């Protein structure tokens, strides 16, 4: 059964898509990359949702503020608002009567989901290319823009050229964005300012439950447990765009989905 609904989160209404069998044993929240609708690039999250549905999960996909069918604009968002959105979705899920909830996120949503998961007893997290750029990277890239004290940034203008274009594209790739989806929109300067002060690596490491974080490594998929995250990867750099962006390669995405499904399958077998 598939159902669509909206929930209130602060002043916005978030679009929710649920898919479940008659008696699901587990639940999973799926959050797309920044600026993407809930189905994600090339229906990536929807493909994962369909596979987890077959494993008897209640799957919940959500559009955060300014995304997809939800209300709000990217020029009016902040990290606090996005975190509040995620908390609202988790609280809704907790009211279903299912005890064991998990999360799947990509880019910035993977990092933010990891940061709040312990508070709500989320059992496990899978993060695809979680955002973890160092603060200095953001200061060097956006510091001069923020000094202009504008409310928002015109992304078509920002992404039309200039000496830092490659790094700006890499930055949005790290958030989980497709550049084509951002052109013509304005992005909140408050969000950029928030990211300058945000310790993304610390946010990821706050989650102490079962986890798997996946990154592209050439044409392969590298996985790191959360306990190994600091020593294995650390903060990412903008000069390695391919390593921090979401590969468009269909084989890479297929392999990633298979890894995720296998991780969930193995995990639920261990708790049966």
| pLDDT tens-digit map of 121-151 | 999 999 998 998 888 888 988 988 888 888 9
The predicted model gives 222-235 an average pLDDT of: 44
Q: How far is it, in rounded angstroms, from Cα 266 to Cα 49?
A: 17
DSSP 3-state assignment of 55?
coil
Give the helix, strand, coil percentages of the chain, each rounded to 5. Answer: 45, 20, 30
The predicted model gives 159-179 an average pLDDT of: 87
- pLDDT tier, 44 (very low <50, low <70, confident <90, very high otherwise): very high
Q: How far is it, in rounded angstroms, from Cα 25 to Cα 114?
A: 22
- pLDDT tier, 252 (very low <50, low <70, confident <90, very high otherwise): confident
Of 137, 146, 157, 153, whose CA–CA distance to 239 is shortest? 137
pLDDT score of 104 more than 90? yes
Q: Is the CB of residue 116 less than 8 Å from the CB of residue 105?
A: no
* Predicted pLDDT of residue 30: 98
Report percent pLDDT > 90 for the chain.
Answer: 54
pLDDT score of 259 more than 50? yes
User: Strands, E, within the chain: which ranges?
Assistant: 2-9, 12-19, 26-31, 57-62, 101-106, 124-128, 152-154, 186-188, 210-217, 220-224
Of 58, 56, 98, 82, whose CA–CA distance to 176 is shortest? 82
Q: Which of 40-54, 197-211, 258-272 has the highest average model confidence (pLDDT)? A: 40-54
User: Strands, E, within 85-244: which ranges?
Assistant: 101-106, 124-128, 152-154, 186-188, 210-217, 220-224
Q: How far is it, in rounded angstroms, from Cα 169 to Cα 159?
A: 7
- pLDDT tier, 166 (very low <50, low <70, confident <90, very high otherwise): confident
* Predicted pLDDT of residue 225: 45
* Beta strands 210-217 and 220-224, pairing class: antiparallel
* Predicted pLDDT of residue 183: 87
Give the least confident one: 12-16, 160-164, 215-219.
Answer: 215-219
Q: Is the CB of residue 191 less than 8 Å from the CB of residue 79?
A: yes
Count the alpha carbons within 13 Å of 235 in the hemisphere toward its beta carbon: 13
Q: How far is it, in rounded angstroms, from Cα 179 to Cα 159?
A: 8
- pLDDT tier, 170 (very low <50, low <70, confident <90, very high otherwise): confident
When the pLDDT of each residue in the chain is averaged and rounded to a whole number, the result is: 86
Give the least confident one: 75-79, 246-250, 256-260.
Answer: 246-250
The predicted model gives 205-234 an average pLDDT of: 62
Centre a 10 Å sphere on the Cβ of residue 125 and count the other Cβ atoms it contains: 24
- pLDDT tier, 237 (very low <50, low <70, confident <90, very high otherwise): low
* Predicted pLDDT of residue 242: 46
The predicted model gives 183-211 an average pLDDT of: 91
Residues listed for the chain:
272
The predicted model gives 177-184 an average pLDDT of: 88
**Which structure tokens are listed for 249?**
């390669």
Q: How far is it, in rounded angstroms, from Cα 37 to Cα 177?
A: 10
pLDDT score of 40 more than 50? yes
């Amino acid at each position: 059964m598939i159902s669509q609904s909206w929930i209130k989160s602060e002043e916005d209404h978030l679009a929710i898509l649920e898919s479940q069998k008659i008696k699901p044993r587990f639940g999973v929240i799926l959050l797309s990359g920044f600026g993407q609708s809930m189905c994600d690039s090339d229906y990536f999250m929807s493909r994962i949702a369909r596979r987890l549905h077959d494993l008897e999960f209640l799957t919940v996909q959500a559009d955060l503020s300014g995304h997809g069918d939800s209300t709000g604009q990217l020029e009016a968002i902040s990290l606090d608002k996005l975190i509040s959105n995620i908390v609202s979705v988790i609280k809704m899920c907790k009211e279903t009567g299912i005890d064991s909830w998990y999360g799947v996120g990509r880019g910035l949503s993977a990092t933010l989901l990891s940061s709040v998961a312990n508070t709500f007893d989320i059992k496990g997290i899978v993060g695809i290319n979680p955002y973890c750029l160092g603060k200095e990277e953001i200061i060097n890239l956006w510091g001069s823009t923020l000094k202009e004290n504008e409310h928002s940034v015109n992304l078509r203008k920002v992404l039309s050229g200039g000496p830092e274009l490659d790094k700006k594209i890499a930055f949005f790739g790290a958030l989980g964005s497709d550049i084509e989806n951002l052109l013509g929109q304005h992005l909140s300067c408050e969000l950029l300012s928030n990211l300058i002060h945000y310790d993304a690596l610390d946010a990821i490491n706050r989650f102490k439950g079962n986890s798997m974080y996946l990154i592209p490594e050439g044409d392969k998929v590298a996985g790191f447990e959360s306990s190994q995250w600091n020593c294995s990867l650390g903060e990412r750099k903008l000069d390695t765009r391919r390593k921090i962006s979401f590969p468009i390669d269909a084989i890479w995405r297929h392999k990633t989905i298979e890894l995720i499904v296998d991780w969930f399958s193995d995990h639920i077998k261990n708790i049966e």
